[in-house]
Amino acid sequence: MEQLSVTKAFEGELHRYKHSSSSTSTDMVFAVYLPPQAKNHSVPVLYWLSGLTCTDENFTQKASAFRMAAKLGLAIVCPDTSPRGLELPGEHDSYDFGSGAGFYVDATQPPWSGHYRMYSYVADELPELIEKTFPVSDKKAISGHSMGGHGALVIYLRNPGAYTSVSAFSPIVHPSKVPWGQKAFQNYLGADKDLWATYDATLLIQENGANTPILIDQGDSDSFLEEQLQPNHFEAACARANVPLTLNLRAGYDHSYYFISSFIDNHLEFHARKLMG
Compute the mean pLDDT over every residue in the chain, rounded to the nearest whole number. Answer: 97
Q: Is the dihedral of CA 131, 22, 162, 236 positive or negative?
A: positive
200-226: pLDDT as tens digits: 999 999 999 998 999 999 999 999 999
| CA 240 to chain centroid | 25
Catalytic residue among 146, 165, 167, 170: 146
**Amino acid identity, residue 109?**
Q
Confidence of residue 277 (pLDDT cuts 50, 70, 90): confident
240-276: pLDDT as tens digits: 999 999 999 999 999 999 999 999 999 999 999 999 9
* Structural domains of the chain, with CATH: 2-276 (3.40.50.1820)
Query: Taking 90 as the threshold, does the pLDDT of residue 186 lie above it?
Result: yes
130-154: pLDDT as tens digits: 999 999 999 999 999 999 999 999 9
Q: Is 271 a catalytic residue?
A: no
Q: Is the dihedral of CA 253, 175, 199, 86 positive or negative?
A: negative
Average pLDDT over residues 106-129: 98
Query: Taking 90 as the threshold, does the pLDDT of residue 82 lie above it?
Result: yes
Catalytic residue among 145, 222, 233, 267: 222
State the pLDDT at residue 215.
Answer: 98
DSSP 86: -
pTM for this structure?
Answer: 0.97
Catalytic residue among 145, 174, 233, 255: 255
State the pLDDT at residue 182.
Answer: 98
Query: Taking 90 as the threshold, does the pLDDT of residue 174 lie above it?
Result: yes
Q: Is 21 a catalytic residue?
A: no
Nearest 5 degrees, angle CA 199-CA 48-CA 122? 50
Query: DSSP states of 215-239 as a string?
Result: EEEEETT-TTIIIII-HHHHHHHHH
CA-only gyration radius of the chain, Å? 17
Q: Is 255 a catalytic residue?
A: yes
